[in-house]
Structure 1
C-alpha cells in the first residue's frame, strides 16, 4: 500500500497533466462526436458527405498554410526557443495566399474562413503543448468544442450546409487572443529558423502527408463514387475518431516529454493494450448498435468493422512518432507517412471503384499498418545500431 501511494505521489504531476489533457480531449471530443452523430440523424448521407467534402478542402488548405509549424512549436518551445512570432508571421502570410487560391477555385467564402479557423487553432494548441500549459489548453479546447457544436446546428437550420461551415469557423475565435499574446512574447527573427530549416521542411512534409491521407481520399471519393458513399464513409471515420481519443490524448502528453528527454514508455504500452480492446468492441458492437440508432447509415457497418482495426497500428505509430519527433528524427516519420499516404490513396483509387466503401476502409487500415510496420522496423534498427556502437573511455 505504501509503495502504491509512493508511486502515485512521485508521478502526481504526470497524472495531473494527463488528466488535464484527457478531460479536455474526452469532454471536447464527446461534444464534437455528439454533434456529428446528431447531424447524421437529421441529414441524409449525401449532405453529410457534402459537408465533409468542404471540410476536407479547408483541412488541406490549412495544412498547406501551416507548413508543418505544429511540430516546430511543440518541440522547440519545450526546449526554450521563442519562435512563436516568426512562425505565426510566416503562417499567416501563407494562409492569405492559400485563401486567395481556394476562393478562385471554389468561390466559397465559407471554405476560406474555415481554413483560417483551422490555422489559428492549430498554432495556438501547438504553443500550449510546447509550453506544457495543459490546463489552459483544456479550458480553451472544451470551449471551442461547445461552440463548434452549438453554432453549426443553429446556423444549419438557417443556412443549410453553408451554415455548418460558418458555425465551425466561428467556433475557433477564442484562439485569436492566444495568437496575439504569442506575438507580444517574442520577436520576429528568421535566424531562429535558419539552423532548423531541415526540421521545418520535413515537419511540413510529414504533417501534410498525414492530414492529406485523411482528407484527399474524400476529394477522390466524392467525384468518383458520389456524396452518398462519402457520407457513409465519413460517418464510419467519425466512429473511429471516437476510438482514437485516448491514443491522441497520450500522444499530446508524451511528445513534449520525449522532447525533454523524459521516459514515457509505460503509459505508451498501456495505451496500445487498450487500443486492442477497443478494436474488439468495434467489430462486435457496430452491427448491433448502428441499425438501432443510425438506420440511415446501415451501409457504413462493414466499413466500421474494418476500420475498427485501425486503432492498433495507429496507436503504435503515434507512440513511436512521439519518440522520433521528440529527438528531432522526423525524417523517419516523414518516410513512414509517405508510405501510408501512397498505400491509402492508391488503395482508394484501385479498390474504391471495385468494392466501394469496403475498399476505402481497407485502404485506410492497410495504410496505417504499413506506416506502423515501417516505424517499428526503424525503431528496432536504431536501437540495434545504438547498442552495437563501441564505447570509448
Structure 2
C-alpha cells in the first residue's frame, strides 16, 4: 500500500515539475512567437532574413564560448558536484577570445553584445535546471520574453534592424543575477573539470554541432540563395519552433530527472504520441494560416508542409538524448548530432540551388530523421548488450 502511494506521489511531483516548466515555456514562447510574427509583418522578407543572419552568427559564437558547459552543469549539479564557478571561469575566458574574433571579422558591436548575452543566459538556465529550480527558471524565462518585446520593438523603431539585435541582447540582463549566484555558491577548482574532461569536451562538440545544425544553414543560405529566401525559411522555422514547444518542455524536465536515476519512460512515450498529432496539424493548418495572415511570406507555406514533419523525429531524438545524457553516454549523442549536421549542410548545398526553399526544408527534415534513426539503433543496441550481460 505504501509503495502504491509512493508511486502516486512521484507521479504528482512529475506532473507538478512539468507543469511549472510547461506554463513558462508556453507563455514565454507564445510571447516570443507573437513578437517575431509581428516583426515579420512589419519587415520585408530580406530584412527579416538579415536579422536572423546576425542572430545565427551570435548563436554559433556563444556556443563556441560556452564550450559545452550547459550539459555539464545540467548533468553534474543534480549529482551534487559544485562545478559552477569553475565552468564559468573557463567560459568567461573563452568569451573574451570569441568576442575579439567577432570584432575583427564583423566589426559589429551589436553581434558582440548579443553573443555575451547568449552566454550569460545559457549558463544561468543550465544552472537553474541543474538545481531543479523549475519555478525560478519559469519566472526568469517569462521575464526575458516580456523584456524582449518591450526593448526590441522600441529600439527597432529607433534604430532599425540593429535595434532588434540590441533589444534581444538587453532582454537577457536579468540572468546576470543567476550567474553571480552560481559563483557565490561554489569555488573555482579546476580538478573538477580535469576529472570530467572527456565529458566536458564531448559536451562542447555535441552542443556546438547541435547549434550549428540549426544555424549554419542560415549562414549558407544567405550568400547562396539570398536574404529574401532566408527570411521565408527563418519564418517557417519560427513556426516549427512553436510546434516543438511541448517536446522541449519535456526535455528540460527529463534531462536532470534521468540524471538522477528516476524513470521517465511513460512521459517520453506520451510526448512522442503528442508530437505525431502536432506534426499532422502543423502540415495541414500552418500553410493556410501563413498564406492568409502573412502573404509576404508565401514561400514559407511550401516550407511548412515539409518542415512540420521534423517534429516527429526531433521529439524521438530528444527523448533518447535525455536518456544517454543522464547516463553520461554523450558520445553517442555527439555522433548523432554530427551526422545530422553533415546531412543538413550537405543537403542545403546540394538541394538548395536546385529546389530553393523546398530543398532546404527537405535537408532539414532528413537531418533530424537520420539522427533519430541512429539514436534508436544505439538505444536498442544498448538494451541488447545489457540483456546479454544479465544472461551471462
**Is there any run of 5+ residues in structure 2 with no aligned partner, and where?**
none
Q: Deviations over 1:59-87 (max 9, x none)?
A: 00000000010000000001000010000
Q: What residue is the counterpart of 1:211 in the other structure?
A: 211
Q: How many angstroms does 1:216 deviate by?
A: 0.7
Q: 1:7 to 1:293 in 2, by over 3 A?
A: farther
Rounded to whole Å, the distance in 2 between the matches of 1:272 and 1:390 is 29
Q: What residue is the counterpart of 1:54 in the other structure?
A: 54
Q: Deviations over 1:334-381 (max 9, x none)?
A: 000010000000000010011110010000000000000000000000
- Cα RMSD of the aligned pairs, angstroms, is 1.3
**Is there any run of 5+ residues in structure 1 with no aligned partner, and where?**
none
Q: How many angstroms does 1:286 deviate by?
A: 2.3
Rounded to whole Å, the distance in 2 between the matches of 1:236 and 1:283 is 11
Q: What residue is the counterpart of 2:274 in the other structure?
A: 274
SS at match of 2:188: coil
Q: How many angstroms does 1:223 deviate by?
A: 0.4
Q: What residue is the counterpart of 1:360 in the other structure?
A: 360
Correspondence list, 1:274-293, <5 A: 274-293=274-293
SS at match of 1:81: coil
Rounded to whole Å, the distance in 2 between the matches of 1:5 and 1:32 is 40
Q: How many angstroms does 1:149 deviate by?
A: 1.7
1:192 correspondence with 2:201? no
Q: What residue is the counterpart of 1:109 in the other structure?
A: 109
Q: What residue is the counterpart of 1:389 in the other structure?
A: 389
Rounded to whole Å, the distance in 2 between the matches of 1:55 and 1:38 is 17
Correspondence list, 1:1-393, <5 A: 9-390=9-390
Matched length: 389
SS at match of 1:78: coil
Q: How many angstroms does 1:287 deviate by?
A: 2.9
Q: What is the TM-score of this pair, normalised by structure 1?
A: 0.97
Rounded to whole Å, the distance in 1 between the matches of 2:24 and 2:345 is 32
Q: How many angstroms does 1:8 deviate by?
A: 5.3
Q: How many angstroms does 1:11 deviate by?
A: 1.9
Q: How many angstroms does 1:148 deviate by?
A: 1.2
Q: How many angstroms does 1:390 deviate by?
A: 4.4
Q: What is the TM-score of this pair, normalised by structure 2?
A: 0.98
Q: How many angstroms does 1:9 deviate by?
A: 4.5
Q: How many angstroms does 1:299 deviate by?
A: 1.0
Rounded to whole Å, the distance in 2 between the matches of 1:383 and 1:73 is 27
Rounded to whole Å, the distance in 2 between the matches of 1:103 and 1:49 is 21
Q: Deviations over 1:280-339 (max 9, x none)?
A: 111111232112111110111110110000000000000000000000000000000010
Q: How many angstroms does 1:16 deviate by?
A: 1.1
Alpha carbons 2:59, 2:118 under 8 Å: kept: yes
Alpha carbons 2:20, 2:135 under 8 Å: kept: yes
Rounded to whole Å, the distance in 2 between the matches of 1:178 and 1:202 is 25
Q: Deviations over 1:173-201 (max 9, x none)?
A: 00001111111110000000111000011
